[in-house]
Structure formats: structure tokens, C-alpha cells
Structure 1
């Protein structure tokens, strides 16, 4: 595989006003009259099987939730994982929909009926037209891969804003328009919501957008039509097989991002993960590689040293050697930074601009998040919930732990069951004490989940089962001695516990800090 020279792309500066409202808690969905858009504009490039009815209509808004439909709206019937939008066409018409886009014909009679092979694709195309292609007026960087997406997006946001660029962020933890927070409904929003969010960012003078692009979003066409200036691949390991079925399907879903890149875009690929070769062959974009192992990559970590306090690193880049003192620790975070560094240079930032935002970054919420109230042992919370993610954080913490390593985790219910014994095996391999507890059991029995984790652990000595997660957290802190490390994985930034469809308030950091204070530690 040839390594190509880096080509710099400057962040865009133009903006076009888009008529959408503002909201501090969610993506704006204006309830009042919107500027009507001619149906002809929306239908440009739409892949439709048939169009019948009045094509001179003007559309108030696009909806995929029949409850949100108002008079003059276009309703798109999409098939969800649990419900089928086609079943709600009558309700959409009753609420005033004048146009219906669907995959199946039937006994329903809007003023305009559009039948499409794939209504999810149609929704993405219609939304992009409705909001006037906002991503084409922004510098959008998308990140896909099993692990590292959240850290990379937050790190890039820190660098871009330190360089004076107002930045939008879309991802698992929350969405940002500059400093304004919006509650995240999913890692990558539905296509209509995503286009609306990008339009709000453009209207708010955002220049660059960093976003996580999940495999679900790619498979379900949520990100279709987004003009990515840069697309980053981190790594690929077992995850989401409850949705994709096989690793090959999962691999191909990630590849959609790179297959759809334009020639003017750049694919930033992790040379240390062999899947990068496949994605490099898929794309017509320019290919840039980063590596911790191969000095032929354009961005190569020549020398680095990690400790609990952070990482010192020397990188070889197309702009010469660059030295960084990072607050994040571990090789996996150094790999994340290599992707960040490559992307920042591609977006036109210089060494001092990158250094300012890179070295001040303290981490994304719930990603190797340290809890320090002055205790003489280390405590970290991390979102790792895959065998590979567990191994990455466990091996890192193990490498600088002088005492014992205590690991507390569980596995989520209604998700890939095959990874449960693998996670148990990895935890026992690195930890001196393993505490198994409930994660987000959802509709499953936590005890049954724990049994499946235990099936991967041959030697069950020094394995403790405490299903009540609050009690398990307190026990982990109580068990720690000087120089020990406590690593709590699985929930990370989450502030709830999902049990039988109900999300109960649950903040691990608060519980741990409460126990530390009970033992006499404090932040003072």
C-alpha cells in the first residue's frame, strides 16, 4: 500500500442562514410555520419508483414521526427495529400530511404519493435538500471504529476551539453547538435530525464539525449525503453483533463511510489495524495513515512514554518532528491522538495551534476519567464495554500499577451475548480482583448475564459477584490499599441504569466520591 503525501484542506468560512429554531435541550423542531419549500426542490436526486399526484405542492416540514406531523408536512414511512412507519400513515394523513413517501403502496391517498425502494435513503436525500446541504458549507470530520471515537471528537474540538474556530460536536455523550450543549439521543442522529443539527450549527457561525459515525448510522443511512472533508478510522473489534450478525457485516458497514467519500476528501486510517487496507482500497479519497509501529506512515509516533499523569510523545509528521506532552495516558490514547494530529494538520492548523488545544485536553467524559480526592490509590472510570476495549484499558492501568489491580464491570443486557465470556477472560487475565456487577441489564436477568461472564473465567478465585452496582462500587473502593488501582468499566459517562425499560438515575462518580469522603478523603 502506497503512502501518499498529506494535502491540507482549510476549514470553510462561509455560512448560509437556515430557518430553524433554537433549543438548549434538544435538536430544534419548530412548532410554528416554517418557510415552505417547493416539492420540486426536495425531489432533486431522489431515487423514487413512482411519483403520483400534485407535484406543485410546497412543503412546510419533513417528518418521520407521525405524532409530529402538522398540516402541509411531508411524512416519510421508515421501518424501525421495533415499529414500522407504514403502519402510521393513516395517522400522519389525519394530522395533515400532504405528501407521503413510502416503500409499500396501499389504500392511502395523500395529495402526493412517492414510492421508493428505500425510504431511509429517501429520508436522507429529502432532508439534505430541505436544509440546503449544510455539510457542504462546513468542514466536517467523521470518526468511525469500535473504540476511540468519543475521545477523538472531543480532542479535535479542544484543538479547533483553541485555534479560534467555533466547533460543533455530535456523538455518544452529547451534542455541542460551540459551547451550547444539546442532549444526545443517539451517537449519530437520524438523517433528518442530523441535517437539522448541522443547519443550526451553520446558522450559529460554526466553522468545523467533528462527529462520531456509528456502524448503525452507516447501515441505516443516517449519515448519507454528509460531505465529509475528513473521515477517520480507529480500529475494528467485536461489537454490535446483535445488530450486524457477523464481523464481516460489521466490517462492511464501517466501510460505507469510506466508499462514499469524494475525491476531494481525505481518509485518515490506522495502519496498525489491518482493516485499514480494505478501507483504503474502497475509497477514492486521498489516504493518510497514522501508526505507533510503522515509520512509513505519514504520522508516526517515534518515541513515547506513558505514566498515570499522561504521555510524552515525539511524532514524525509531513511538517517535521513534533513533540507533545499529553494529559491522557496509554497507547490506545496515543493512537487516538495520532488520528487527531493528522486530522488537525489536514484541516490547516499549525504546530502551535495544535499543541495548545492538544496539551490542555483532559479527556472526554467517562473515558479513562480519573477520580482523585487525595486517596493513596488510583481510581478510573471508563466506557470500555468490549473485549478489546477492556484489554486496552486494563493493560494500560496494569503497566503502571505497583499494587493490585481491581476491576469492576458487567455486561449490558439485550446486546451481543458472545462477548460476555470473552470480557470475563480478559478481566481475569489482568486484574488481581474481579468484581462482577450489573451494568444496564435492560430486559435480561442480571444474574444470568453474570453467569455468562463467569463461563469465560476458569479460575474463579478472587472473583466477587455483587449484583447491586452501588454496593459493588463501595466494595471496590473499600478493598483498595495504597498503590492499588481500581478500574470501573462499562458505563463511563452514563448517569443512569437501564432496568426493564426504565432508566433510573445512577452516577458512578458520585457514588465513588461519596465513599471516598466517608473514608475521610476530600478534594481540599
Structure 2
């Protein structure tokens, strides 16, 4: 995992522990708190800053209080935990201040925000949630914010970035204390706006507690993370937490699916609706709507017309191809406008935004004897459909897909992904994503079961592991008019196999294939079945 130590403020707080006890009605059950001051808050025993308060929460396997001694040795000055955690502490409570809380996880964000001086109040904050499109939309929003804010921050799946400094992000939405550290550092460095992704896990686990967003957006809700949320209803309810009073002041909701339309009805904050499917009956009643779109044939981007609440139409563009990115760009424009950016400025800035890492990223450009090579993060059934439909119009020849599915995640989507790829692509190379603790071969077998529903003979289907070899085969199979798209990992810099993180990036493999001449070689004959 990526360390976030460099994302702590350089001028930390110096707050009496007694002030926290009073502000949050905590009960002291350990050593005397008198004279103890707190400089920050952490939930990670292996990433503790000197003078920080360690919040020990119950984990999936063990209680975080088991690591309290390690945190104290690293510099923590006190512990916040629940009754079960206190029982785990043993003798530690006799010489370290310990504060009792009913739900320390829910309290971690507010505690961290309080110690950091509530940094979100000094920033224009935009949060984006939904199944697909969070990263792209967040980067588009940042492009619009940067048009009027000299220094901005971006927090999400790809990176934690303040101005020009960035580190790899450990997850889509960091834990609550880390979030407050980053926001405080952003303020310290002169940032005045932040755009961030907000995952359903983050909402369920209170990672954004203690932060009230100025405006939040919802992209869509499609099958994903059911291993965590149980079913689509649970998934929706966790997403909807972002649209609660105290969590956000106002929202913008894409109403292209029934989940979005339901969110508009049930949200307890003011929301504006946005319809992005041209011809959708929902557009007539939506506050904002895409009334026409041209995805083009060059694959560079798309243009569209956005109708505002007053009926005025605005010609806009997405720098990325496909109707899905028309939706992402339209949402970003409306979010940025809701966050105080002039509408015309937002339109221009989003249309000129730079490429987003791992999102329809063109790594190999089409050239004599060479295919177009694209990396995309699509890892859900709906996202895979959108990705393949986006690249088909810019593919004169065959569409080659290299893909897999994650281990220790929703198993039901694996055959669905296989069926979609077999239906929408010409050549399939089935490989591994992040097998995690599962047998990679069993994951591939589940995908191939779906492929067989469309291609019983597995024509033009290849099963290859490891992933780098699979992508190199995909490039070697493709000719000048073909497109190779590798999906599922996007920007990710590692691959998790049997609990070990190995450095790996699809973009790097593409570039090495070019260096080795694979992209310029004549296409290999189809194998006619699984390799």
C-alpha cells in the first residue's frame, strides 16, 4: 500500500486532549489526560505521526486495538476505541490515555477534522459518487476548477494530488484521518478547491464523515461491489448517504437510470437532475439535458449540446470518445457550475481537459502496420459494454480485447463479462486482473463459461496468463486497422496475486511491446480456440 506520510500538514495542530474529550463527550478510561496535546489523528498503526491520536476500530478479522502498542511506540499519545477495544488494550491503558467511544470509526473523521481546524471549510469541495465514471468526472471537474482556482487538489482512485505534487492513491477514498490531513495540507499550500471521488465503501465506513461537501454528483448505479453491499438495494442506500444533510449542501444527479431518478426523489438536500441520453423521455423533465451528441469517428473526443434549466443550449465537448464520456463531461460541467465556475468557463475547460490515466487512454496510436492501443478501467458489465461500444466506431478492422475479472469480488459478474466481450469484440484474450486469494484459473474458467454462451467453439478466443504475456499477444494479433483495448486495471500500478502486490501497469506493457516491435509485426493467425 502507498504511504500517505508525505501528505501530512507541515504545521500540525497543537490541541489539548482535554479539548477533544469535552467537544465529543468522550469518557477517559486510561491514564491521566492532563498535559497531553494532540497533533493529528490516525487509524493506521503503521503510519503514525508523532503526537497523533490513534483510533482503534474493529476490523474484519481482528480489532485495531491489538496494534495500539505499536502505534504508541511509533509516536501516538492516546487511543480512542470502543469497549471491545479497551478489553484488548490490557496494561497499556494504565500508562497511555484511553478514550471510550461507542462508534470510533464514525467518530474518526469528525475528530480528525476538529484537530485539523476543519480544513474543508476553507475549500470549495466537490464530491463524485456512482459506479462508473467517478474518476473521469472528477478529473473533468478539476479541469474546470483550475480555470478559476490557481491551486486545486484531486483525491481519488489514481492519485492524491495537491497542485503539482502527487502520490499514488491507496484506495478510491482514503480513510477519514488521511482525508483531513490531505485537506489541511491543501489549505496550507494555498489550494482553494478540491475534487474527489467518494466510493460506496467510503460512505458505508464513514471515511468522509467530518466533511461537508459544497456540491456532490451521482453518475450511475450498476452492478458492482455486491460482495460488500449484499444487493443493489444496499449498494444504493450507501451511495445515497452522500446526499444527506451535513454530508453535502447540494447535489447534481444523472437520471439516466432508475437509481438516479429515485435518488432525486429521495435526496434530503437540494438536487438538480441531469439527463444525458439523447431522446430519453427523462430529458423533458430534467433540469439539465444533453439534447444532441456526436461521438465522432476519430476517437479523440465527442461534441454535444447541453440544455440548461432556462432552456438555453450550450455547445460542449468531451476530450474522450464515447457516449459514456458525454455523460461524464456534462455532469462535470454542471457540478463545476454549481461550485461557482462560470458556465462558459466550465464548458471550455472540460472540453480541453487532459487525458485521464487509465480511462480510454490511447497508449499506442494507429500507424502504418500498427494498431490503436487503449487502456480502460472498465471492470463492471455495464462499463465493459460502454467501453467496447465507444471504440467500435473508431475501429476499421478487428476489435481485440484483453480482459479478466477480479478475485475476492462479485463472482456473479464473471460469466456476464465473458458474454459481453464475446458479443461485442472480435478477438478475445482472457487473462488475470487481481486474483488476490483465488485461483486465477478458476476465475478465467468462469469468464470462459460466459464466452461459450456466445461462441461455443471459442473461435478467436485465447486464454493466457500472466497478464503481460496476454497483452503482448493481443498486440501481436492486431493489424493496422485493428484496435486493442485492455480493460479492468486502468491506471493501477500493481497486480495482487496470492496476497502479494507486484509492480505492473498495462501502459508499460504496451510501450514495451512497441519497443520490441510487436506492434509493427504482421498479425498472427487466429488460434481458433483457447490457447
TM-score range with shorter-chain normalisation? 0.7 to 0.9
Instruction: Please point out which of 413, 416, 421 is paired with 1:427.
Output: 421
Greater shift, 406-415 or 505-514, is seen at 505-514
User: Partner of 2:157 in structure 1?
Assistant: 172
Asked if the contact 2:54–2:76 (Cα under 8 Å) also holds between the matched residues in 1, the reply is yes
Asked if the contact 2:13–2:115 (Cα under 8 Å) also holds between the matched residues in 1, the reply is no
Q: Distance in 1 between matches of 2:480 and 2:406?
A: 31
User: Partner of 2:237 in structure 1?
Assistant: 252
Asked if the contact 1:385–1:411 (Cα under 8 Å) also holds between the matched residues in 2, the reply is yes
* TM-score (normalised: structure 2): 0.87
Instruction: Please point out which of 26, 37, 48 is paired with 2:6.
Output: 26
Q: What secondary structure is seen at the aligned counterpart in 2 of 1:225?
A: coil
- Does residue 141 of structure 2 align to residue 143 of structure 1? no
Q: Distance in 2 between matches of 1:199 and 1:29?
A: 6
Asked if the contact 2:36–2:77 (Cα under 8 Å) also holds between the matched residues in 1, the reply is no
Instruction: Please point out which of 10, 24, 27 is paired with 1:46.
Output: 24
User: Partner of 2:222 in structure 1?
Assistant: 237
Instruction: Note the alpha carbon deviations across 1:401-447, whole angstroms, 9 max, x for none.
Output: 33222111011222221111111111111011111012222222221
User: Partner of 1:354 in structure 2?
Assistant: 346
- Does residue 309 of structure 2 align to residue 318 of structure 1? yes
Distance 1:490 1:194, change over 3 A: same
Q: Distance in 1 between matches of 2:119 and 2:159?
A: 20
Q: Distance in 2 between matches of 1:267 and 1:420?
A: 33
Q: What secondary structure is seen at the aligned counterpart in 2 of 1:366?
A: coil
Q: What secondary structure is seen at the aligned counterpart in 1 of 2:57?
A: coil
Distance 1:288 1:513, change over 3 A: same
* TM-score (normalised: structure 1): 0.88
Q: Distance in 1 between matches of 2:9 and 2:502?
A: 27
User: Partner of 1:338 in structure 2?
Assistant: 330
Aligned counterparts, 1:28-427, within 5 A: 28=8, 35-43=13-21, 46=24, 48=26, 54=32, 56-61=34-39, 62-67=41-46, 73-92=52-71, 98-104=77-83, 105-106=86-87, 107=90, 108-110=93-95, 112-261=97-246, 265-292=249-276, 293=280, 294-307=283-296, 308-318=299-309, 320-375=312-367, 377-427=371-421
Asked if the contact 2:131–2:219 (Cα under 8 Å) also holds between the matched residues in 1, the reply is yes
Q: What secondary structure is seen at the aligned counterpart in 2 of 1:159?
A: helix
Asked if the contact 1:38–1:58 (Cα under 8 Å) also holds between the matched residues in 2, the reply is yes
Q: Distance in 2 between matches of 1:286 and 1:410?
A: 40
Query: Would you identify which runs of 4 or more consecutive aligned residues in structure 1 move more than 6 Å?
Result: 49-53
Q: Distance in 2 between matches of 1:328 and 1:71?
A: 44
Q: Distance in 2 between matches of 1:96 and 1:507?
A: 35
Q: CA deviation at 1:54?
A: 4.2
User: Partner of 1:438 in structure 2?
Assistant: 432
Q: CA deviation at 1:519?
A: 4.8
Asked if the contact 1:440–1:497 (Cα under 8 Å) also holds between the matched residues in 2, the reply is yes
Distance 1:69 1:195, change over 3 A: closer
Q: Distance in 1 between matches of 2:420 and 2:184?
A: 44
Greater shift, 36-45 or 146-155, is seen at 36-45
Question: How many equivalent residue pairs?
Answer: 497
Instruction: Note the alpha carbon deviations across 1:112-132, whole angstroms, 9 max, x for none.
Output: 432222110121221111011
Q: Distance in 1 between matches of 2:18 and 2:26?
A: 13
Q: What secondary structure is seen at the aligned counterpart in 2 of 1:415?
A: coil
Higher helix share: 2
Q: Distance in 2 between matches of 1:317 and 1:168?
A: 28
Distance 1:373 1:398, change over 3 A: closer
Distance 1:260 1:463, change over 3 A: farther
For structure 2, the 5+ residue unaligned runs are: 522-531
Q: Distance in 1 between matches of 2:511 and 2:155?
A: 29
Q: Distance in 2 between matches of 1:69 and 1:468?
A: 37
Q: CA deviation at 1:221?
A: 0.6
Q: CA deviation at 1:199?
A: 0.4
User: Partner of 2:444 in structure 1?
Assistant: 450
Q: What secondary structure is seen at the aligned counterpart in 2 of 1:235?
A: coil
Q: CA deviation at 1:504?
A: 2.2
Q: Distance in 2 between matches of 1:279 and 1:39?
A: 40
Q: CA deviation at 1:282?
A: 3.8
Distance 1:183 1:400, change over 3 A: closer
Instruction: Please point out which of 468, 490, 500 is paired with 2:466.
Output: 468
- Aligned Cα RMSD in Å? 2.6
Q: Distance in 1 between matches of 2:342 and 2:49?
A: 49
Distance 1:56 1:278, change over 3 A: farther
Q: Distance in 2 between matches of 1:279 and 1:45?
A: 34
Greater shift, 59-68 or 489-498, is seen at 59-68
Asked if the contact 2:365–2:373 (Cα under 8 Å) also holds between the matched residues in 1, the reply is no
Q: What secondary structure is seen at the aligned counterpart in 1 of 2:364?
A: coil
Q: CA deviation at 1:296?
A: 2.5
Q: Distance in 2 between matches of 1:433 and 1:393?
A: 15
Asked if the contact 1:261–1:285 (Cα under 8 Å) also holds between the matched residues in 2, the reply is no
Q: Distance in 2 between matches of 1:66 and 1:400?
A: 49
Asked if the contact 2:173–2:197 (Cα under 8 Å) also holds between the matched residues in 1, the reply is yes
Q: Distance in 2 between matches of 1:44 and 1:301?
A: 51
Q: What secondary structure is seen at the aligned counterpart in 2 of 1:277?
A: helix
Q: Distance in 1 between matches of 2:100 and 2:265?
A: 34
Q: Distance in 2 between matches of 1:70 and 1:160?
A: 31
